[in-house]
Structure 1
Amino acid sequence: MLEIQVTAGRLDQDRASIMPDLGATRYGFTRQNIENIPQGENAPLGQVLLRAPGVVQDGFGRIHVRGDHSNLQYRFDGVQLPEGLSAFTQVFSARFTDTLSLLTGALPAQYGLTTAGVVDIGVRSGTTDPGIEAALMTGSYNWIQPVLQYGGRSGPVDYFAVGQFTSNSIGMENPTASYQPLHDATRQWYALTKVTGIVDEQTRLSFIAGGAAARFQIPNLPFQTPAFTVNGISSWDSTLLDQQQSESTYFAIGSLQKSYRDLNVQVSAFARYSSLAYQPDPIGDLLYNGFAPWAVRQGVAAGLQGDASWKLAEGHTLRGGYLVQREQLNSTTWANALPLVPGGGGLVPGGQPVGIFDHSDLTAWTYSVYLQHEWRALPSLTVNWGLRFDAVSGVTNENQLSPRVNVVWEPVPSVSLRAGYARYFVPPPLGFVTAASLASRAGTTAEPLVTLNDPVRAERSDYIDFGLTAKPLPHLTLGFSAYYKFAQNYVDEGQFGAPVLMTAFNYAYAQSRGFEIFANYDEGPWSVYANLAWSRVSVIGFNSAQFNASPAELDYIALNWIPADHDQGLSGSAGISYVFGYKTDHATRLAADLLLGSGLRTTVATPNDTSLPGYATLNLSVTQSLPILEKRSTRLRFDVLNVTDNQYQLRTGAGVGVGAPQYGMRRAFFLTLSQKF
C-alpha cells in the first residue's frame, strides 16, 4: 500500500509538471484556509474565491476577477471544463477540493479561451479523505444542508464520493433591505465522484463525474404598480407573483496519464450537459413586464484535451497540447405578450395577450493547440515563451495566433520577480439571440427599443502583468501585482427575454488596469491573511447585440468611455484564526473574517456613472473538536455572518446589463455538526 501511495504522489507531481503556472499570479487555498472562512467547507466555492485578491462580489452569486464580467475557467485535475448555463447555481462545492488555486495575469500558453482567471481544483481522493463523514448545517433562513462523503482505497484503486443537499429561504439575493425576502426558497443538490486506478508505475486512469440541480423561486418586490392592463385587470399584489427557475448541470471527465523517463502525457475526454428553464407567473409577468415567457435552454458540450511535457535537456523543457470541443445549444420560448395597437396618436399596448414562439439551435466547434519552451537561462532566471492558436467555428468563424512570454527572476530564494505578456482570444458564450428571436417579438410589448443585432465576436486583448512575491520569514508571504489589459470586442453580458437568461454582447474597446497587495502568515495555531485590490474597467462603443441597450445608451457609449457595470474600484478581505489545543483531539478554533468593497456601478445621469455605497461585512466562527468516538473526529461549528447586520446593496436594478435590485445577506447564524466514522 505504501508503494502505491508513493507512486500516486509521484504521478501527481508529473501531472503538475505538465501544466505549471510559470509567470502567472497564483493565489492558493489550503484546506486549513477554507476551514477558516465562514461556513468552512460547506461554503459555496464562489465565497471561498472572494477571499483572493482582485475578486469582486456580484448578484446571483457571481464573482468578477480583475474586472472581467465572468470569463472564468474551471479545471479538475488539470482538465478544462466547458462553460455551463447556470444563472444562480454554483455547480462546484468547496467539498470537492483537496487543493484550490486561482491563477490570473499573463498566463502561459496552455491556458486559453476563458482567461480572466483559472480556478485550478485538485479533486479529493480516498487517500486524502478516507472513511465516512456525515455533516449537517442548519441555521437562519430555514437553512438545512446535510452532507455525506465516503473515500477509500482498495489496492491500486482509489475512490471518493460526496453528496450535498441544500434547502433555504434565500436562494437569491433579497431585492429589498428587509431581513426575510419574499418568495425566495430554493432546493439544491450537488454530487461528485472520483475513481482512480494505477495501472503500473508510469500509468494512471481516472474518472470524475458530478452534477448539480436546483430550483429557485424568483424573489418578489412589494408595493409595485402594474405597467399594463391584461384582460381588464390593472391591479395586482406584487408579493403574490410566482416566478421560478430550474437549473441542472452534469459533467464527466476520463483521463489517461502516462510518464516515461522525461516525457509526461495526459489525455482526457470530457462532456457537460446543462439546462435552464424559466416559469413565469402567467398573469403577473404580463402585468408588470408585458411579457410572460416559458423559456428553456439546453446545452451539450464534449471534447478531447491533451497535454504533454518533455525535458529536452538540463534547463530546457518543451510543453504542448491541444483541445477540440463541440458545443450545441438550443433555446425554446413559448410566451405571451401584449400587442401594440393604434391609439393616442401612436401605438399603445392592447389588453388581449397574443402568443409568441421562438426556437434556435446553435452549434460551435472550438480548436486549440499550443507549444511552449521553458528555458532556465540562469540558475535564478527562467524564461517561458510560447504560441497558442485558437479557432472557433459557429455563428462566426474566427481564429488567432497568440504569443505568450513570461520571465521569472529569483535573485535570492526568498524573493521572486515576474513579468509577462499574453495575447488573448476569448470566444463569447454560445447563447446568441438570433434575428428570428427578435422578429418574433415585433409588434408586441416584448419588442426591444433597439432591434439592431450585429453578431457577437470573440474578444481579442493584450495583457501585461508584473508581480513580486517575498518570504521575509519562513511562514510569511507578501505579494504585489499590477496589470494592464487593452481589449477589442470586449465581451460582456446582458439580459434578454426572461429576467435571468443572459446573452453576450461586445463593447468595441475596453481598458482594464489595477493592482493587488496580499499577505499570508501560517504558523502553528496562527493563520492570518489580508489583501487589497484596486481596479478600473473602462469601455466604449456598443458594437453587437445592440438590443441589450436603449437608443440613448447606445448614442452616449458610442462617443464616451464609461465604467463597466461590474467595475468596482476597491475590494479586499482579511482574516485571522487561532487554534487552542493545537494538534489535540479537543482543539478549539476561533476565526474572524472581513469582506469589503467600494460598490459596483449604477446609472444616475449617464451609463454606470456612479458607484453604490461601499460596504464591509464581519464574520465570526468557532469550531470545537470533541473526542467522542476515540480518534474519529466529531466537530461542532458555529458561524455568524454579517455580525453588524450591515444592510448593503449590490445592485440597484439600473445600468447597462443589470436586472432587479439585490442586497447582501443580513446577519445569519449557522450551526454545523460533523462526524467521521
Structure 2
Amino acid sequence: MRLGLLFTLVFLACRADAQVFGTVRVLARDQQGLAIPGADATIRASASSWTQSAKTNGDGEAVFPAVPLGQYVVSVSSAGFDTAERTVTVAANAVTPVAVSLKVAGLAQSVEVAAEAQTINPESSRTETLVQRAEILREPDADRSGSMAMITNNAPGAFVMHDHLHSRGGHGVSWQIDGVPVPNSNLASVGSQFDPKDVDSLEIDRGGLSANYGDRSYGVFNVVPRSGFEGHRFADLAAGAGNFHQAHGYLGIGDHAAGERFAYFASVSANRTDRGLERVDVPVLHDDGAGLSGFTSMIVIPHPTDQFCIIGLARTDRYQVPNIGAQQAIGIDDREVANDALASVTWARTSEAGWLVTASPYYHFNRGEYIGGAGDPLVTNDDRGSHYVGGFVNVSLTRGRHTVHVGTDSFGEHYQSTFALRANDGSGLSLREDERLWATVVSLFADDAFRAAPWLTINTGLRFERFAGTLAEHATTPRLGAAVTVPRVGILRASYSRYYQHPQVATIEGPVLGFALQEGLGFLPLHGERDEIWEVGVGVPIHGWTLDFDAFHNTTHNLVDHEVLGNSSLLFPLTIDNGRVRAFESTVRSPSLWHGLRLRSAFSIESAQGRGDVTGGLTNFKPPSAGYFYLDHDQRVTLSAGGQITIARGFWASATVLYGSGFLRGDGPDHMPKHTTADVAVGRDIGEKLALRLTVLNVADSLYLTGIENSFAGTHYANPRDVAVQLRYKFHY
C-alpha cells in the first residue's frame, strides 16, 4: 500500500506545478487615460538576455503569465507615440500590474524612462523582500558558502543563533528553488540550503502567505538560481583565504544557445575553516569545518509555450563539535556530518487563454550524523536520514479580474535512524535503537486574487493538509488578505491566516527510551504546530525609496521548539502547549544615490513566548506553572542597517551594522546585555574580468553570549573577528 501511494505521488508530481513564475499585466494608456490597443509590449530581464513580447488587446492590456521573479524593464511602443519604459520588480505567485502612459510623438522619436522603479505590488497582501545578486556579491559575508547573511541582512527579526536560522520568532521556515518547495520534516539545518554564489535573486516572503506557499509560517525563501542566460560560455572563478586557516574556492560556468532555446549552468564549491560551528567557549576549541557542494541547472525551451527546467544539488559538510575547556582537557572528540541532495524537473506550459500549468516532480535526501569520540566517557552516536519523493502541482489562470491557483503539494518520506549510547566507565552500559518509518503528507490548495476595484485587491485561499506517520492528523487552514492603494500614501495591506506545520517523523522507543526515563527525561508523541496570524502593513514608495512597515500577532498551539544534542547543531524536536509572537517590523531600501550609494535597513521589535506544558518530544524542561515564559531565541530589538557605495577607479565599499537588545539569560525572564557588531567589505573591480575583496566581520571583535545555560540551547558565544580576502576572475571558455 505504501508503494502504491508513493507511485501515486510521483504520478501527481508529473502533473505538478511550482510557482516558478509571476504574472505581469501591462496596461497601455495615453495621456488622457484611454486604452491603446495593438501596442507592442516587451519585458526583458535586467541581468540576463531573457525577453518576451506581446501585443495589447482591445482594452490596452497585455499579459505575460510566466515571468521568473526578479527585476525587469517593461517597454511599450505604438505608432504615433513615444516609446515608454518602466522598471518593475516581479514576485513569484503574484500578478504585478504595470501601468504605462504613452505621450504623443514629437518631431523626433524618443524613449521616455520612468524615473522611479515600481518596487511595491499594489495587488499583493504579502509581506516580502527581494534581494538581488548584485547585493549578495557585495554585502559583507553574504556570498560565503553556507552563510545566511543574504537573509539576516535584509529580513527583520531574522538572525542565526546556535547555528540555526530564526525568523519572526520561530524556526518553521521553508526553502524553494525556482518556486519548487524543498520538502523537509526536520526542524532546522545548518547553513543556507543553497550556496549564495549560485543565487541570482532571493524572494523573502514573511507574512500574508497564500495557500500554495505551504504551512511553515515563519518565512519562505524562494531562490532563483543563476542560469546560462547570463552570457555566452562564461566562467566565474573565486578563491579566498583568511584567519582561522579558512580557505574557499568556487567555479561556475554557463552558456545558452543562440536561439535562446537551451541554457545551462553548473558550479562546484569547497571550503574549510578552524571555526566551523558557533563557539561554546573562549578561545575557539575543537571547531574545524569543511564543505563541498555542486549545483547545476538546465533550461530547455522546445516551443514558446513550453519550458523544461532541471535542477540538481549535492552538498556535504563535516564539523568538529566544539568543546569547552573541560571537554578539551579530557580529549572529547565528537564530530558531525551533514549530507543533502536535491533533484527536480519542472515543465511549464502557457496558453494564449491565460493558463499556466507547470509540473515539478522532486526528490530530496538529507542526513545528519553525530559521531561520538571513541574515548568519550559516554559515546553518543545519532544517525538520521530521510528520502522524500513527491511533487508540487499548481494550475493558474488570469481571466478578467481574477487570478486563480489550484493544486497540490504531496510527498512520501522514508525515515531511518540509529541512536546508540556506550559508556567507557566499566558500567557495561550499551544501548542501540534502529528505526525505519514511513510518512506521507498530502495537501490541496486553492486561492484567488480578485481585483474588486482599481484600488482594491482581495486575496482568498484555502489549504487542506493530512499527515500520516507515527500518528495521523489533518487541518484545513484559510487565508484571507486585502491590498488597498491609497493615493499619495502607498499600499495598505492586511491578512488573516491559519497554518498547520506537520510534525517530524522521528520517535523514540525501546532501550533508549528506558534509559531516558531513568535519567529523568520524558517523551511524548509529537503533534503538528498550528498557527493563527493577524497582520497589517503599509508599503510606501517615495522618490525611489521603498519604506515598509508591518505588525503581526501569531498565536500558536503545539509550538515547535527543540533540545540540542550536546554542543552540536543536531536537534531533538519538542512542542509546547501554547505560544505567541508579537512584533512590529520595518524595512527601508533606497534607490541609487550619489556615487551609486544604496542604503538599507531591517528593524524588528519582537516578543517570542511559550505557555503551558511540554506536549511532545524528549525533555526534562519544566515550564513555569502559570503565565507566559520567554523562549530561548527571544530578543526584543533586532536591527540590521547598511549600504554600499562605488568610490572611484573601480573601488567600492559595503558595510552592515547589526544590533540586538540581548537574548534570554538562562531560562529567563531576564535577558543578556545588548550587543552591536559591524561588518565591512571593500573591493576593487579591475576591468571586467578581475575583482579583489577584503571582508572583516565583527570588526571590533566584540565578545558576547548568544545563549547561556538554556534548557533548549545550552551556551554559545558570538563568532570572533573574521578576516578574509577573495580574488574573482571572470573569463570565457
TM range (shorter): 0.7 to 0.9
Match of 1:576 in 2: 643
After TM superposition, list the pairs within 5 Å mapping 1:164-243 onto structure 2. Answer: 164-178=269-283, 181-223=284-326, 237-238=329-330, 240-243=331-334
* C-alpha displacement of 1:598: 1.6
In the alignment, the residues of structure 2 paired with residue 177 and residue 497 of structure 1 have an alpha-carbon distance, to the nearest angstrom, of 17
Match of 1:327 in 2: 413
* C-alpha displacement of 1:144: 0.5
Match of 1:646 in 2: 702
* C-alpha displacement of 1:562: 0.4
CA contact (8 A) 2:431 2:512 kept: no
Match of 1:304 in 2: 391
CA contact (8 A) 1:72 1:114 kept: yes
CA contact (8 A) 2:455 2:485 kept: yes
* C-alpha displacement of 1:63: 1.6
Match of 1:545 in 2: 616
Give the SS at the match of 2:325.
Answer: coil
In the alignment, the residues of structure 1 paired with residue 471 and residue 53 of structure 2 have an alpha-carbon distance, to the nearest angstrom, of 44
* C-alpha displacement of 1:280: 1.1
In the alignment, the residues of structure 1 paired with residue 689 and residue 53 of structure 2 have an alpha-carbon distance, to the nearest angstrom, of 26
Match of 2:716 in 1: 662
CA 1:310–1:442: 2 relative to 1, 3 Å: closer
Match of 2:116 in 1: none
In the alignment, the residues of structure 2 paired with residue 223 and residue 640 of structure 1 have an alpha-carbon distance, to the nearest angstrom, of 31
Match of 1:426 in 2: 501
After TM superposition, list the pairs within 5 Å mapping 1:91-102 onto structure 2. Answer: 91-102=193-204
Q: Which amino acid aligns with 1:191?
A: G
CA 1:532–1:14: 2 relative to 1, 3 Å: closer
CA contact (8 A) 1:49 1:55 kept: no
In the alignment, the residues of structure 1 paired with residue 374 and residue 423 of structure 2 have an alpha-carbon distance, to the nearest angstrom, of 10
In the alignment, the residues of structure 1 paired with residue 204 and residue 412 of structure 2 have an alpha-carbon distance, to the nearest angstrom, of 26
Q: Which amino acid aligns with 1:600?
A: F
- Does residue 371 in structure 1 map to residue 434 in structure 2? no
Give the SS at the match of 1:183.
Answer: coil
In the alignment, the residues of structure 2 paired with residue 476 and residue 63 of structure 1 have an alpha-carbon distance, to the nearest angstrom, of 28
Match of 1:530 in 2: 601
* C-alpha displacement of 1:450: 2.8
CA 1:259–1:323: 2 relative to 1, 3 Å: same
* C-alpha displacement of 1:523: 0.9
In the alignment, the residues of structure 2 paired with residue 126 and residue 457 of structure 1 have an alpha-carbon distance, to the nearest angstrom, of 44
In the alignment, the residues of structure 2 paired with residue 547 and residue 406 of structure 1 have an alpha-carbon distance, to the nearest angstrom, of 38
CA 1:596–1:353: 2 relative to 1, 3 Å: farther
In the alignment, the residues of structure 2 paired with residue 365 and residue 254 of structure 1 have an alpha-carbon distance, to the nearest angstrom, of 21
CA contact (8 A) 1:465 1:484 kept: yes
CA 1:437–1:561: 2 relative to 1, 3 Å: farther
Q: Which amino acid aligns with 1:213?
A: T
Give the SS at the match of 1:610.
Answer: coil
Match of 2:94 in 1: 20
CA 1:40–1:237: 2 relative to 1, 3 Å: closer
Q: Which amino acid aligns with 2:316?
A: A
- Does residue 617 in structure 1 map to residue 617 in structure 2? no
CA contact (8 A) 2:479 2:497 kept: yes
CA contact (8 A) 2:309 2:346 kept: yes
Match of 1:233 in 2: none
In the alignment, the residues of structure 2 paired with residue 193 and residue 352 of structure 1 have an alpha-carbon distance, to the nearest angstrom, of 51
- Does residue 565 in structure 1 map to residue 620 in structure 2? no
- Does residue 518 in structure 1 map to residue 587 in structure 2? yes
Identity %: 21
Gaps of 5+ in 1: 225-235, 339-349
Deviates more, 1:507-516 or 1:534-543: 534-543
Deviates more, 1:509-518 or 1:3-12: 3-12
* C-alpha displacement of 1:542: 2.4
CA contact (8 A) 1:73 1:117 kept: yes
Give the SS at the match of 1:91.
Answer: coil
In the alignment, the residues of structure 2 paired with residue 379 and residue 437 of structure 1 have an alpha-carbon distance, to the nearest angstrom, of 65
In the alignment, the residues of structure 1 paired with residue 488 and residue 265 of structure 2 have an alpha-carbon distance, to the nearest angstrom, of 37
CA contact (8 A) 1:132 1:149 kept: yes
- The size of the alignment, in residue pairs, is 621
Deviates more, 1:513-522 or 1:201-210: 513-522
After TM superposition, list the pairs within 5 Å mapping 1:62-141 onto structure 2. Answer: 62-68=164-170, 70-83=171-184, 87-128=189-230, 130=232, 131-141=234-244
- Does residue 29 in structure 1 map to residue 131 in structure 2? yes
Give the SS at the match of 1:13.
Answer: strand
CA 1:548–1:241: 2 relative to 1, 3 Å: same
> Of 261, 264, 270, which residue of structure 1 is paired with 2:356?
264
> Of 372, 379, 384, which residue of structure 2 is paired with 1:292?
379
| Structure 1 residue ranges (4+ consecutive) displaced by more than 4 angstroms after TM superposition | 7-12, 14-18, 84-87, 496-500
> Of 318, 322, 335, which residue of structure 2 is paired with 1:244?
335
In the alignment, the residues of structure 2 paired with residue 665 and residue 498 of structure 1 have an alpha-carbon distance, to the nearest angstrom, of 15
Query: What per-residue deviation string (whole Å, max 9, x for no partner) do you get for residues 551-583 of structure 1?
Result: xx14x3x433101111111101111221024xx
Q: Which amino acid aligns with 1:250?
A: A
TM-score (norm. length: structure 1): 0.87
After TM superposition, list the pairs within 5 Å mapping 1:147-166 onto structure 2. Answer: 147-154=250-257, 155=259, 156-166=261-271
Give the SS at the match of 2:212.
Answer: coil
Match of 2:527 in 1: 457
In the alignment, the residues of structure 2 paired with residue 31 and residue 12 of structure 1 have an alpha-carbon distance, to the nearest angstrom, of 21
CA contact (8 A) 2:91 2:203 kept: no
CA 1:6–1:413: 2 relative to 1, 3 Å: farther
In the alignment, the residues of structure 1 paired with residue 480 and residue 669 of structure 2 have an alpha-carbon distance, to the nearest angstrom, of 36
Match of 1:674 in 2: 728
Q: Which amino acid aligns with 1:6?
A: T
* C-alpha displacement of 1:541: 1.6
Q: Which amino acid aligns with 2:711?
A: V
CA contact (8 A) 1:89 1:247 kept: no
CA 1:545–1:618: 2 relative to 1, 3 Å: same
Match of 1:232 in 2: none
In the alignment, the residues of structure 1 paired with residue 525 and residue 668 of structure 2 have an alpha-carbon distance, to the nearest angstrom, of 24
Query: What per-residue deviation string (whole Å, max 9, x for no partner) do you get for residues 269-302 of structure 1?
Result: 1111111222112333x2xxxx312221111111
Gaps of 5+ in 2: 1-42, 55-63, 70-89, 96-123
Give the SS at the match of 1:441.
Answer: helix
In the alignment, the residues of structure 2 paired with residue 275 and residue 352 of structure 1 have an alpha-carbon distance, to the nearest angstrom, of 31
In the alignment, the residues of structure 2 paired with residue 437 and residue 599 of structure 1 have an alpha-carbon distance, to the nearest angstrom, of 40
In the alignment, the residues of structure 1 paired with residue 133 and residue 369 of structure 2 have an alpha-carbon distance, to the nearest angstrom, of 35
* C-alpha displacement of 1:414: 6.3
Query: What per-residue deviation string (whole Å, max 9, x for no partner) do you get for residues 91-118 of structure 1?
Result: 3111121111211112111112222100
Give the SS at the match of 2:553.
Answer: strand
CA contact (8 A) 2:155 2:204 kept: no
CA contact (8 A) 1:580 1:587 kept: yes
CA contact (8 A) 2:65 2:356 kept: no
In the alignment, the residues of structure 2 paired with residue 169 and residue 83 of structure 1 have an alpha-carbon distance, to the nearest angstrom, of 29
Q: Which amino acid aligns with 2:515?
A: R
Q: Which amino acid aligns with 1:559?
A: A
Give the SS at the match of 2:67.
Answer: helix
Q: Which amino acid aligns with 2:311?
A: I
- Does residue 397 in structure 1 map to residue 498 in structure 2? no
Give the SS at the match of 1:544.
Answer: strand
CA contact (8 A) 1:496 1:548 kept: no
* C-alpha displacement of 1:662: 1.6
Match of 1:347 in 2: none
